[in-house]
Structure 1
Protein backbone atom coordinates (compact mmCIF):
# COMPACT_ATOMS: atom_id res chain seq x y z
CA UNK A 1 0.00 0.00 0.00
CA UNK A 2 1.37 3.42 -0.95
CA UNK A 3 0.76 6.83 0.52
CA UNK A 4 -0.21 8.29 -2.84
CA UNK A 5 2.88 10.53 -2.89
CA UNK A 6 5.47 10.30 -5.65
CA UNK A 7 8.53 8.27 -4.67
CA UNK A 8 11.71 10.22 -4.08
CA UNK A 9 14.48 9.22 -6.46
CA UNK A 10 18.11 9.26 -5.45
CA UNK A 11 21.17 9.30 -7.65
CA UNK A 12 24.00 6.84 -6.92
CA UNK A 13 25.69 9.50 -4.79
CA UNK A 14 22.66 9.65 -2.53
CA UNK A 15 21.25 12.95 -3.83
CA UNK A 16 17.53 13.48 -4.10
CA UNK A 17 16.94 13.97 -7.81
CA UNK A 18 13.24 14.71 -7.39
CA UNK A 19 14.07 18.14 -5.89
CA UNK A 20 15.46 20.84 -8.14
CA UNK A 21 18.96 22.09 -7.42
CA UNK A 22 20.24 25.52 -8.52
CA UNK A 23 23.66 24.23 -9.56
CA UNK A 24 22.10 21.54 -11.77
CA UNK A 25 19.66 24.11 -13.19
CA UNK A 26 22.61 26.27 -14.26
CA UNK A 27 24.18 23.19 -15.82
CA UNK A 28 20.96 22.79 -17.83
CA UNK A 29 21.05 26.45 -18.90
CA UNK A 30 24.63 25.89 -20.14
CA UNK A 31 23.63 22.82 -22.13
CA UNK A 32 25.20 20.33 -19.72
CA UNK A 33 24.09 16.81 -18.90
CA UNK A 34 24.42 16.80 -15.10
CA UNK A 35 20.75 17.58 -14.43
CA UNK A 36 17.48 15.77 -13.83
CA UNK A 37 13.82 16.21 -14.66
CA UNK A 38 13.10 18.30 -11.55
CA UNK A 39 15.97 20.64 -12.43
CA UNK A 40 14.78 21.03 -16.01
CA UNK A 41 11.20 21.64 -14.92
CA UNK A 42 12.22 24.42 -12.53
CA UNK A 43 14.57 25.92 -15.11
CA UNK A 44 11.84 25.87 -17.73
CA UNK A 45 9.51 27.72 -15.35
CA UNK A 46 12.13 30.46 -15.12
CA UNK A 47 12.62 30.51 -18.88
CA UNK A 48 8.87 30.92 -19.35
CA UNK A 49 9.12 34.09 -17.24
CA UNK A 50 12.40 35.37 -18.71
CA UNK A 51 13.79 33.43 -21.70
CA UNK A 52 16.93 35.57 -21.58
CA UNK A 53 18.10 33.82 -18.40
CA UNK A 54 19.89 31.18 -20.49
CA UNK A 55 21.87 33.89 -22.29
CA UNK A 56 22.65 35.52 -18.96
CA UNK A 57 24.22 32.32 -17.65
CA UNK A 58 26.35 32.05 -20.80
CA UNK A 59 27.44 35.70 -20.54
CA UNK A 60 28.37 35.10 -16.91
CA UNK A 61 30.86 32.41 -17.99
CA UNK A 62 32.33 34.72 -20.61
CA UNK A 63 32.73 37.48 -18.04
CA UNK A 64 34.57 35.01 -15.81
CA UNK A 65 37.06 34.29 -18.59
CA UNK A 66 37.79 37.96 -19.24
CA UNK A 67 38.07 38.82 -15.55
CA UNK A 68 40.47 35.97 -14.75
CA UNK A 69 42.59 36.86 -17.78
CA UNK A 70 42.70 40.48 -16.58
CA UNK A 71 43.93 39.36 -13.15
CA UNK A 72 46.52 36.93 -14.51
CA UNK A 73 47.94 39.74 -16.64
CA UNK A 74 48.37 41.68 -13.40
CA UNK A 75 50.26 38.91 -11.70
CA UNK A 76 47.46 37.36 -9.63
CA UNK A 77 48.02 33.63 -9.33
CA UNK A 78 45.73 32.61 -6.46
CA UNK A 79 41.97 32.29 -6.85
CA UNK A 80 39.19 31.36 -4.44
CA UNK A 81 36.03 30.62 -6.40
CA UNK A 82 33.00 30.72 -4.09
CA UNK A 83 29.78 28.89 -5.01
CA UNK A 84 31.00 28.25 -8.54
CA UNK A 85 28.39 25.58 -9.26
CA UNK A 86 29.01 22.35 -11.14
CA UNK A 87 32.33 22.14 -13.01
CA UNK A 88 31.88 22.88 -16.69
CA UNK A 89 34.10 24.14 -19.50
CA UNK A 90 36.34 27.17 -18.95
CA UNK A 91 36.37 26.91 -15.17
CA UNK A 92 38.42 29.39 -13.17
CA UNK A 93 41.45 27.10 -12.83
CA UNK A 94 41.42 26.30 -16.54
CA UNK A 95 41.30 29.96 -17.58
CA UNK A 96 43.98 30.89 -15.04
CA UNK A 97 46.25 28.07 -16.19
CA UNK A 98 45.77 28.98 -19.87
CA UNK A 99 47.30 32.39 -19.19
CA UNK A 100 50.50 31.18 -17.59
CA UNK A 101 51.84 28.48 -15.23
CA UNK A 102 51.83 28.52 -11.48
CA UNK A 103 48.24 29.46 -10.67
CA UNK A 104 46.24 27.89 -7.83
CA UNK A 105 42.45 27.75 -7.55
CA UNK A 106 40.38 26.69 -4.57
CA UNK A 107 36.70 26.02 -5.16
CA UNK A 108 34.47 26.63 -2.13
CA UNK A 109 30.87 25.48 -1.89
CA UNK A 110 28.35 24.30 0.67
CA UNK A 111 26.21 22.34 -1.78
CA UNK A 112 26.91 18.59 -1.42
CA UNK A 113 25.93 18.05 -5.06
CA UNK A 114 28.58 20.52 -6.22
CA UNK A 115 31.21 19.23 -3.80
CA UNK A 116 30.76 15.64 -4.95
CA UNK A 117 30.94 16.50 -8.65
CA UNK A 118 33.85 18.89 -8.23
CA UNK A 119 35.95 16.46 -6.20
CA UNK A 120 35.36 13.69 -8.71
CA UNK A 121 36.25 15.84 -11.71
CA UNK A 122 39.16 17.78 -10.20
CA UNK A 123 40.80 14.96 -8.26
CA UNK A 124 43.76 14.78 -10.67
CA UNK A 125 44.22 18.53 -11.06
CA UNK A 126 47.38 19.73 -9.35
CA UNK A 127 46.31 23.35 -9.72
CA UNK A 128 42.94 23.14 -7.99
CA UNK A 129 41.33 22.02 -4.73
CA UNK A 130 37.79 21.77 -3.39
CA UNK A 131 36.73 22.65 0.15
CA UNK A 132 33.44 22.97 1.93
CA UNK A 133 32.57 26.52 2.93
CA UNK A 134 30.08 29.35 2.69
CA UNK A 135 30.31 33.06 1.87
CA UNK A 136 28.18 33.64 4.98
CA UNK A 137 31.05 32.19 7.05
CA UNK A 138 34.01 34.04 5.52
CA UNK A 139 36.36 33.65 8.47
CA UNK A 140 35.96 29.86 8.45
CA UNK A 141 36.49 29.81 4.69
CA UNK A 142 39.72 31.80 4.87
CA UNK A 143 41.03 29.78 7.83
CA UNK A 144 40.38 26.51 6.02
CA UNK A 145 42.19 27.67 2.88
CA UNK A 146 45.12 28.94 4.98
CA UNK A 147 45.38 26.07 7.45
CA UNK A 148 45.25 23.47 4.68
CA UNK A 149 48.10 25.26 2.91
CA UNK A 150 45.96 25.89 -0.17
CA UNK A 151 46.31 29.67 -0.29
CA UNK A 152 49.20 31.90 0.80
CA UNK A 153 47.55 34.91 2.44
CA UNK A 154 50.87 36.68 2.49
CA UNK A 155 50.27 37.36 -1.22
CA UNK A 156 47.30 38.87 -3.09
CA UNK A 157 44.31 36.62 -3.72
CA UNK A 158 41.39 36.93 -6.14
CA UNK A 159 37.98 35.94 -4.75
CA UNK A 160 35.44 35.06 -7.44
CA UNK A 161 31.72 35.20 -6.58
CA UNK A 162 29.65 34.87 -9.73
CA UNK A 163 25.86 34.87 -9.61
CA UNK A 164 25.75 33.52 -6.03
CA UNK A 165 24.93 36.58 -3.93
CA UNK A 166 21.72 37.10 -5.88
CA UNK A 167 20.25 34.11 -4.03
CA UNK A 168 21.19 35.39 -0.57
CA UNK A 169 18.44 37.52 1.02
CA UNK A 170 19.11 40.78 2.80
CA UNK A 171 18.25 39.14 6.13
CA UNK A 172 21.36 36.93 5.85
CA UNK A 173 23.57 40.04 5.74
CA UNK A 174 25.50 39.32 2.52
CA UNK A 175 27.03 42.83 2.47
CA UNK A 176 28.39 42.42 5.97
CA UNK A 177 29.93 39.05 5.14
CA UNK A 178 31.52 40.20 1.89
CA UNK A 179 32.99 43.18 3.78
CA UNK A 180 34.38 40.81 6.41
CA UNK A 181 35.92 38.68 3.69
CA UNK A 182 37.46 41.81 2.15
CA UNK A 183 39.03 42.73 5.49
CA UNK A 184 40.56 39.26 5.82
CA UNK A 185 42.36 39.50 2.47
CA UNK A 186 45.82 41.00 2.03
CA UNK A 187 46.35 44.27 0.20
CA UNK A 188 46.41 43.92 -3.57
CA UNK A 189 43.69 41.24 -3.50
CA UNK A 190 40.70 41.40 -5.82
CA UNK A 191 36.98 40.65 -5.80
CA UNK A 192 35.34 39.44 -9.02
CA UNK A 193 31.59 39.65 -8.68
CA UNK A 194 28.50 39.32 -10.84
CA UNK A 195 24.89 39.73 -9.80
CA UNK A 196 21.47 39.84 -11.45
CA UNK A 197 20.05 43.36 -11.43
CA UNK A 198 16.38 44.07 -12.01
CA UNK A 199 16.56 47.70 -13.20
CA UNK A 200 15.27 46.81 -16.67
CA UNK A 201 13.04 43.92 -15.56
CA UNK A 202 11.08 45.06 -12.49
CA UNK A 203 8.20 42.98 -13.80
CA UNK A 204 10.29 39.82 -13.34
CA UNK A 205 11.13 40.37 -9.68
CA UNK A 206 8.09 38.71 -8.12
CA UNK A 207 7.73 35.66 -10.41
CA UNK A 208 11.47 34.91 -10.49
CA UNK A 209 11.82 35.37 -6.73
CA UNK A 210 8.80 33.11 -6.19
CA UNK A 211 10.50 30.26 -8.07
CA UNK A 212 13.73 30.58 -6.10
CA UNK A 213 11.97 31.06 -2.77
CA UNK A 214 10.20 27.76 -3.34
CA UNK A 215 13.44 26.02 -4.36
CA UNK A 216 15.33 27.31 -1.33
CA UNK A 217 12.37 26.94 1.02
CA UNK A 218 12.73 30.58 2.06
CA UNK A 219 9.19 32.06 2.01
CA UNK A 220 9.26 35.82 2.23
CA UNK A 221 13.02 36.07 1.59
CA UNK A 222 14.03 38.94 -0.68
CA UNK A 223 17.31 38.98 -2.62
CA UNK A 224 16.30 41.05 -5.66
CA UNK A 225 18.59 44.07 -6.16
CA UNK A 226 19.14 46.91 -8.60
CA UNK A 227 22.53 47.99 -9.93
CA UNK A 228 22.86 50.67 -7.24
CA UNK A 229 21.94 48.14 -4.56
CA UNK A 230 24.70 45.78 -5.75
CA UNK A 231 27.37 48.49 -5.78
CA UNK A 232 28.01 48.41 -1.98
CA UNK A 233 29.53 44.94 -2.34
CA UNK A 234 32.56 46.83 -3.68
CA UNK A 235 32.80 49.26 -0.75
CA UNK A 236 36.43 49.71 0.27
CA UNK A 237 37.69 48.46 -3.11
CA UNK A 238 38.99 50.24 -6.18
CA UNK A 239 36.82 49.29 -9.15
CA UNK A 240 38.73 48.49 -12.32
CA UNK A 241 37.51 50.24 -15.42
CA UNK A 242 34.79 50.29 -16.62
CA UNK A 243 33.34 49.72 -13.13
CA UNK A 244 30.22 47.78 -12.26
CA UNK A 245 28.49 47.44 -15.63
CA UNK A 246 26.33 45.04 -17.66
CA UNK A 247 28.34 41.87 -18.24
CA UNK A 248 28.73 42.40 -21.98
CA UNK A 249 30.23 45.84 -21.35
CA UNK A 250 33.02 44.66 -19.06
CA UNK A 251 36.16 44.72 -21.24
CA UNK A 252 34.62 42.91 -24.22
CA UNK A 253 36.97 41.09 -26.58
CA UNK A 254 35.38 42.78 -29.58
CA UNK A 255 32.38 44.87 -30.59
CA UNK A 256 29.47 44.24 -28.26
CA UNK A 257 26.44 42.66 -29.88
CA UNK A 258 23.40 44.86 -29.77
CA UNK A 259 21.15 43.19 -27.22
CA UNK A 260 17.45 43.79 -26.73
CA UNK A 261 16.83 46.46 -24.07
CA UNK A 262 15.91 43.79 -21.56
CA UNK A 263 18.34 41.14 -22.84
CA UNK A 264 21.06 40.70 -20.23
CA UNK A 265 20.08 42.07 -16.83
CA UNK A 266 23.22 40.99 -15.04
CA UNK A 267 26.14 43.19 -14.03
CA UNK A 268 29.73 42.48 -13.08
CA UNK A 269 32.86 44.17 -11.89
CA UNK A 270 36.35 43.65 -10.49
CA UNK A 271 37.50 45.51 -7.38
CA UNK A 272 41.01 45.76 -5.91
CA UNK A 273 41.81 46.10 -2.21
CA UNK A 274 44.38 48.91 -1.76
Structure 2
Protein backbone atom coordinates (compact mmCIF):
# COMPACT_ATOMS: atom_id res chain seq x y z
CA UNK A 1 0.00 0.00 0.00
CA UNK A 2 1.36 3.42 -0.97
CA UNK A 3 1.75 5.77 1.96
CA UNK A 4 0.45 9.31 1.73
CA UNK A 5 3.08 12.01 2.09
CA UNK A 6 1.84 13.02 5.55
CA UNK A 7 2.13 9.51 7.00
CA UNK A 8 5.37 8.94 8.96
CA UNK A 9 7.52 6.27 7.29
CA UNK A 10 7.56 4.23 10.50
CA UNK A 11 3.82 3.52 10.27
CA UNK A 12 2.83 -0.02 9.26
CA UNK A 13 -0.35 0.48 7.26
CA UNK A 14 -1.12 -3.24 7.34
CA UNK A 15 -1.36 -3.39 11.13
CA UNK A 16 -4.38 -1.84 12.83
CA UNK A 17 -3.83 0.82 15.49
CA UNK A 18 -6.07 1.28 18.53
CA UNK A 19 -5.70 5.07 18.19
CA UNK A 20 -6.72 5.05 14.54
CA UNK A 21 -9.60 2.66 15.28
CA UNK A 22 -10.79 5.15 17.90
CA UNK A 23 -10.56 7.88 15.28
CA UNK A 24 -12.78 5.77 13.02
CA UNK A 25 -15.34 5.19 15.79
CA UNK A 26 -15.48 8.96 16.34
CA UNK A 27 -16.09 9.59 12.66
CA UNK A 28 -12.57 10.84 11.92
CA UNK A 29 -10.70 10.51 8.64
CA UNK A 30 -7.17 9.70 9.79
CA UNK A 31 -7.38 5.93 9.63
CA UNK A 32 -6.43 3.28 7.11
CA UNK A 33 -7.98 0.14 5.61
CA UNK A 34 -6.53 -2.15 8.30
CA UNK A 35 -7.92 0.10 11.03
CA UNK A 36 -11.37 0.25 9.46
CA UNK A 37 -11.46 -3.51 8.95
CA UNK A 38 -10.58 -4.16 12.59
CA UNK A 39 -13.01 -1.48 13.80
CA UNK A 40 -15.85 -2.90 11.72
CA UNK A 41 -15.11 -6.35 13.16
CA UNK A 42 -15.50 -4.88 16.65
CA UNK A 43 -18.73 -3.17 15.63
CA UNK A 44 -20.15 -6.47 14.37
CA UNK A 45 -19.59 -7.96 17.82
CA UNK A 46 -20.48 -4.83 19.79
CA UNK A 47 -22.64 -2.45 17.72
CA UNK A 48 -22.40 0.14 20.51
CA UNK A 49 -18.67 0.77 20.15
CA UNK A 50 -19.07 4.04 18.24
CA UNK A 51 -21.48 5.25 20.90
CA UNK A 52 -19.06 4.19 23.63
CA UNK A 53 -16.29 6.18 21.95
CA UNK A 54 -18.51 9.25 21.76
CA UNK A 55 -19.46 8.77 25.41
CA UNK A 56 -15.79 8.82 26.37
CA UNK A 57 -15.34 11.96 24.29
CA UNK A 58 -18.27 13.51 26.12
CA UNK A 59 -16.67 12.69 29.47
CA UNK A 60 -13.46 14.37 28.30
CA UNK A 61 -15.42 17.53 27.51
CA UNK A 62 -17.21 17.49 30.87
CA UNK A 63 -13.98 16.85 32.78
CA UNK A 64 -12.09 19.65 31.05
CA UNK A 65 -14.93 22.10 31.70
CA UNK A 66 -15.05 21.00 35.33
CA UNK A 67 -11.31 21.60 35.71
CA UNK A 68 -11.61 24.99 34.05
CA UNK A 69 -14.25 25.88 36.65
CA UNK A 70 -11.73 24.93 39.36
CA UNK A 71 -9.22 27.40 37.93
CA UNK A 72 -7.08 24.94 35.96
CA UNK A 73 -5.64 26.60 32.86
CA UNK A 74 -2.97 24.09 31.78
CA UNK A 75 -3.45 20.49 30.73
CA UNK A 76 -1.30 17.43 30.01
CA UNK A 77 -3.30 14.96 27.90
CA UNK A 78 -1.75 11.48 27.96
CA UNK A 79 -2.80 9.07 25.24
CA UNK A 80 -4.53 11.95 23.47
CA UNK A 81 -5.09 10.08 20.21
CA UNK A 82 -5.70 11.50 16.76
CA UNK A 83 -7.14 15.03 16.74
CA UNK A 84 -10.87 15.14 16.06
CA UNK A 85 -13.57 17.68 16.89
CA UNK A 86 -13.69 18.55 20.58
CA UNK A 87 -10.01 18.43 21.44
CA UNK A 88 -8.84 19.64 24.83
CA UNK A 89 -7.30 22.85 23.52
CA UNK A 90 -10.52 23.74 21.69
CA UNK A 91 -12.58 23.29 24.84
CA UNK A 92 -10.08 25.01 27.13
CA UNK A 93 -9.24 27.93 24.86
CA UNK A 94 -12.89 28.74 24.30
CA UNK A 95 -12.98 29.58 27.99
CA UNK A 96 -9.45 30.99 28.23
CA UNK A 97 -7.55 31.81 25.05
CA UNK A 98 -4.28 31.53 26.98
CA UNK A 99 -4.93 28.02 28.35
CA UNK A 100 -1.98 25.71 27.72
CA UNK A 101 -2.28 22.13 26.46
CA UNK A 102 0.30 19.46 25.66
CA UNK A 103 -0.84 16.29 23.91
CA UNK A 104 1.13 13.08 24.39
CA UNK A 105 0.74 9.93 22.32
CA UNK A 106 2.91 7.02 21.20
CA UNK A 107 1.05 6.76 17.87
CA UNK A 108 3.06 8.63 15.17
CA UNK A 109 0.01 9.47 13.06
CA UNK A 110 -1.67 11.05 16.08
CA UNK A 111 1.38 13.18 16.82
CA UNK A 112 1.91 14.15 13.18
CA UNK A 113 -1.66 15.41 12.82
CA UNK A 114 -1.66 17.11 16.21
CA UNK A 115 1.58 18.91 15.36
CA UNK A 116 0.21 20.08 12.01
CA UNK A 117 -3.07 21.22 13.55
CA UNK A 118 -1.31 23.17 16.29
CA UNK A 119 1.34 24.80 14.09
CA UNK A 120 -0.17 28.26 14.55
CA UNK A 121 -1.29 27.79 18.16
CA UNK A 122 1.34 29.19 20.57
CA UNK A 123 -0.35 27.70 23.62
CA UNK A 124 -0.60 24.05 22.57
CA UNK A 125 1.82 21.37 21.44
CA UNK A 126 2.18 17.64 20.88
CA UNK A 127 4.95 15.14 21.57
CA UNK A 128 5.50 11.49 20.78
CA UNK A 129 6.20 9.62 24.00
CA UNK A 130 5.07 6.54 25.89
CA UNK A 131 3.01 7.30 29.00
CA UNK A 132 4.45 4.12 30.56
CA UNK A 133 7.75 6.02 30.80
CA UNK A 134 6.76 9.04 32.91
CA UNK A 135 10.20 10.61 32.98
CA UNK A 136 10.33 10.73 29.17
CA UNK A 137 7.09 12.72 29.31
CA UNK A 138 7.76 14.90 32.33
CA UNK A 139 11.29 15.84 31.24
CA UNK A 140 10.38 16.55 27.64
CA UNK A 141 11.37 20.06 26.55
CA UNK A 142 7.95 20.87 25.07
CA UNK A 143 6.20 19.78 28.26
CA UNK A 144 8.55 21.82 30.43
CA UNK A 145 8.43 24.88 28.17
CA UNK A 146 4.65 24.86 27.80
CA UNK A 147 3.54 23.90 31.32
CA UNK A 148 4.43 25.58 34.61
CA UNK A 149 5.01 22.86 37.21
CA UNK A 150 4.84 25.39 40.03
CA UNK A 151 1.11 25.80 39.32
CA UNK A 152 -1.78 23.29 39.23
CA UNK A 153 -2.08 21.11 36.13
CA UNK A 154 -4.94 19.01 34.78
CA UNK A 155 -3.61 15.54 33.94
CA UNK A 156 -5.94 13.68 31.56
CA UNK A 157 -5.86 9.92 30.96
CA UNK A 158 -9.09 9.32 29.07
CA UNK A 159 -9.71 5.91 27.46
CA UNK A 160 -6.03 5.00 27.55
CA UNK A 161 -5.12 3.04 30.70
CA UNK A 162 -7.08 0.00 29.52
CA UNK A 163 -4.37 -0.28 26.86
CA UNK A 164 -1.67 -0.62 29.54
CA UNK A 165 -1.39 -4.25 30.75
CA UNK A 166 -0.72 -5.18 34.36
CA UNK A 167 2.71 -6.45 33.30
CA UNK A 168 3.70 -2.85 32.51
CA UNK A 169 2.85 -1.81 36.07
CA UNK A 170 0.54 1.14 35.39
CA UNK A 171 0.23 1.86 39.12
CA UNK A 172 3.97 2.63 39.26
CA UNK A 173 3.66 5.04 36.34
CA UNK A 174 0.63 6.72 37.94
CA UNK A 175 2.54 7.14 41.19
CA UNK A 176 5.29 9.00 39.33
CA UNK A 177 2.80 11.32 37.63
CA UNK A 178 0.98 11.99 40.91
CA UNK A 179 4.31 12.80 42.57
CA UNK A 180 5.21 15.28 39.81
CA UNK A 181 1.91 17.14 39.90
CA UNK A 182 1.89 20.39 41.91
CA UNK A 183 -0.55 20.72 44.80
CA UNK A 184 -4.02 21.65 43.59
CA UNK A 185 -3.62 19.66 40.37
CA UNK A 186 -6.27 17.27 39.11
CA UNK A 187 -6.22 13.81 37.53
CA UNK A 188 -9.09 12.68 35.26
CA UNK A 189 -9.40 9.04 34.17
CA UNK A 190 -11.83 6.96 32.15
CA UNK A 191 -11.25 3.21 31.94
CA UNK A 192 -13.05 0.28 30.30
CA UNK A 193 -14.53 -2.36 32.61
CA UNK A 194 -16.48 -5.61 32.35
CA UNK A 195 -18.41 -4.94 35.54
CA UNK A 196 -22.04 -4.42 34.70
CA UNK A 197 -21.75 -6.45 31.50
CA UNK A 198 -24.29 -9.24 31.11
CA UNK A 199 -22.44 -12.58 31.52
CA UNK A 200 -23.89 -13.63 28.17
CA UNK A 201 -21.79 -10.89 26.59
CA UNK A 202 -18.46 -12.00 27.99
CA UNK A 203 -17.77 -14.32 25.06
CA UNK A 204 -18.22 -11.35 22.74
CA UNK A 205 -15.81 -9.37 24.89
CA UNK A 206 -13.16 -12.05 24.45
CA UNK A 207 -13.59 -11.75 20.69
CA UNK A 208 -13.10 -7.98 20.94
CA UNK A 209 -9.96 -8.46 23.02
CA UNK A 210 -8.64 -10.84 20.36
CA UNK A 211 -9.08 -8.13 17.72
CA UNK A 212 -7.18 -5.60 19.82
CA UNK A 213 -4.36 -8.10 20.32
CA UNK A 214 -3.66 -7.60 16.61
CA UNK A 215 -2.82 -3.99 17.39
CA UNK A 216 0.06 -2.69 19.50
CA UNK A 217 -2.45 -1.92 22.28
CA UNK A 218 -4.18 -5.02 23.69
CA UNK A 219 -7.11 -4.42 26.05
CA UNK A 220 -7.00 -4.89 29.82
CA UNK A 221 -10.35 -4.35 31.52
CA UNK A 222 -10.31 -3.47 35.23
CA UNK A 223 -12.78 -3.33 38.09
CA UNK A 224 -13.96 -0.20 39.86
CA UNK A 225 -11.63 -0.94 42.79
CA UNK A 226 -8.67 -1.34 40.44
CA UNK A 227 -9.47 1.95 38.71
CA UNK A 228 -9.86 3.67 42.09
CA UNK A 229 -6.27 2.67 43.01
CA UNK A 230 -5.01 4.98 40.27
CA UNK A 231 -6.23 7.88 42.45
CA UNK A 232 -4.18 6.84 45.51
CA UNK A 233 -3.23 9.84 47.71
CA UNK A 234 -5.62 12.12 45.81
CA UNK A 235 -9.00 13.47 46.90
CA UNK A 236 -11.63 12.09 44.53
CA UNK A 237 -14.30 14.69 43.84
CA UNK A 238 -18.03 13.86 43.91
CA UNK A 239 -19.63 11.69 42.70
CA UNK A 240 -16.49 9.53 43.02
CA UNK A 241 -15.32 6.72 40.76
CA UNK A 242 -18.56 5.89 38.98
CA UNK A 243 -19.90 4.50 35.70
CA UNK A 244 -19.20 6.95 32.90
CA UNK A 245 -22.82 8.00 32.45
CA UNK A 246 -23.11 9.01 36.13
CA UNK A 247 -20.31 11.61 36.19
CA UNK A 248 -21.84 15.10 35.88
CA UNK A 249 -24.11 13.80 33.13
CA UNK A 250 -25.48 16.36 30.70
CA UNK A 251 -27.10 13.95 28.25
CA UNK A 252 -29.17 10.77 28.17
CA UNK A 253 -26.08 8.65 27.46
CA UNK A 254 -26.55 5.28 29.16
CA UNK A 255 -23.15 3.73 28.40
CA UNK A 256 -21.92 2.05 31.60
CA UNK A 257 -19.05 -0.32 30.75
CA UNK A 258 -16.41 2.18 31.83
CA UNK A 259 -15.50 3.80 35.14
CA UNK A 260 -14.45 7.43 35.40
CA UNK A 261 -13.25 9.74 38.10
CA UNK A 262 -11.60 13.08 38.78
CA UNK A 263 -9.41 13.74 41.79
CA UNK A 264 -7.45 16.65 43.28
CA UNK A 265 -3.95 16.58 44.74
CA UNK A 266 -4.17 18.04 48.26
Query: TM over 0.5: same fold?
Result: yes
8 Å contact kept, 1:145–1:151 = no
Deviations 1:221-254 (A, max 9, x none): x722122221111111111111111222111225
- The alpha carbon displacement at 1:200 in A equals 2.2
- What are the residue-to-residue correspondences of 1:33-44 with 2, within 5 Å? 33-44=29-40
Match of 1:93 among 75, 89, 92: 89
8 Å contact kept, 1:197–1:224 = yes
- How many Å separate the matches in 2 of 1:153 and 1:135? 18
In structure 2, the partner of 1:165 is: 161
8 Å contact kept, 1:60–1:194 = yes
- The alpha carbon displacement at 1:70 in A equals 0.7
* Partner SS for 1:68: helix
In structure 1, the partner of 2:210 is: 210
In structure 1, the partner of 2:16 is: 20
Residue 229 (structure 2) pairs with residue 232 (structure 1): yes
- How many Å separate the matches in 1 of 2:69 and 2:102? 19
- How many Å separate the matches in 2 of 1:140 and 1:120? 22
**Aligned in 2, Cα 1:130/1:217: closer, same or farther, shift over 3 Å?**
closer
- The alpha carbon displacement at 1:100 in A equals 2.4
- How many Å separate the matches in 2 of 1:119 and 1:217? 22
8 Å contact kept, 1:65–1:90 = yes
Deviations 1:146-170 (A, max 9, x none): 7741111000111101111101110
In structure 2, the partner of 1:251 is: 248
8 Å contact kept, 1:23–1:114 = yes
In structure 2, the partner of 1:67 is: 63
- TM-score normalised to structure 2 length: 0.91
* Partner SS for 1:119: helix
**Aligned in 2, Cα 1:206/1:192: closer, same or farther, shift over 3 Å?**
same
- How many Å separate the matches in 2 of 1:176 and 1:148? 22
Deviations 1:112-158 (A, max 9, x none): 11111111111111220112222111122111157741111000111
Measured on the aligned residues, the alpha-carbon RMSD in Å equals 1.8
What are the ranges of 5 or more consecutive residues in structure 2 without an aligned counterpart? none
8 Å contact kept, 2:125–2:142 = no
Match of 1:191 among 187, 191, 199: 187
Matched residue count: 259
- TM-score normalised to structure 1 length: 0.89
- How many Å separate the matches in 2 of 1:147 and 1:25? 27
- What are the residue-to-residue correspondences of 1:5-16 with 2, within 5 Å? 8-12=1-5, 13=7, 14=9, 15-16=11-12
- What are the residue-to-residue correspondences of 1:108-187 with 2, within 5 Å? 108-144=104-140, 148-187=144-183
What are the ranges of 5 or more consecutive residues in structure 1 without an aligned counterpart? 1-7
